[in-house]
Amino acid sequence: MVTELVRENKTKFIILGLLSHEPLTGYDLRQIAERSIGNFWTDLSFGQIYPTLRTLEKKGLVSKTVEVDEARPLRKVYSITQEGREELQKWLVEPADMEIFKLDILLKLYFGSSVGVEHSIKKVEMFIHRNETTLERYAAFEKSLRGIVNQSKDHKFFLLTLEYGQYITKAQLQWAKHTLETLRTM
């Protein structure tokens, strides 16, 4: 018998978490999420953000103000309410869900014997390149973050998540280089 894990949609908590730092528009939420948590949580789309904002507003977890500027379209700016902060804090103290890893490279490598080793070599080489690029991006982000780490306690938590990404990416690179050597001898 297979037990299926029921996973809670985290979109509302992502939005509440980002709004706990500053009021934002839906567009701002997407941009900030992409630059920050997008390194480890990649499925936050506008199609999720706007319906979730409406739901959060109806539940009193966020409030909306409309900014009027003659030169620009209306801006709907959302702020977290006290009830929203309490909801976020309640979620934050709960145990974290078990991690789910869905790595396309591993799935394709697992079935790689069906197409020939040269295809797997190319995929692993591309995987190495992507991870090296990611490490470079992480290094740049770390440099700027270390310069401001003492300005806010939030920055220390941001740094911890960045370090996790660096450790995982280095481990993936180590595995990929070993795998590439193995594939080239097959």
Q: At what angle do helices 11-19 and 46-58 cross, to 10 degrees?
A: 70
pLDDT of residue 62: 97
H or E stretch covering 26: helix 26-35
pLDDT of residue 34: 87
Cα–Cα distance between 145 and 149 in angstroms, integer? 6
Cα–Cα distance between 102 and 172 in angstroms, integer? 14
Displacement of CA 102 from its chain's centroid (Å): 14
Q: Classify each residue of 169-186 as buried b or exposed e, where b means 16 or more C-beta atoms within 10 Å of its C-beta.
A: beebbebbeebbeebeee
pLDDT of residue 7: 54
pLDDT of residue 37: 85
The tens place of each residue's pLDDT in the chain, 186 residues long, gives 444 444 568 899 999 999 999 999 999 999 999 888 887 777 788 889 999 999 999 999 999 999 988 888 889 999 999 999 999 999 999 999 888 878 899 999 999 999 989 999 999 999 999 999 999 999 999 999 999 999 999 999 999 999 999 999 999 999 999 999 999 999
Cα–Cα distance between 153 and 130 in angstroms, integer? 31
**Four-CA torsion 169, 173, 179, 184, nearest 10 degrees:** 150
Cα–Cα distance between 130 and 155 in angstroms, integer? 26
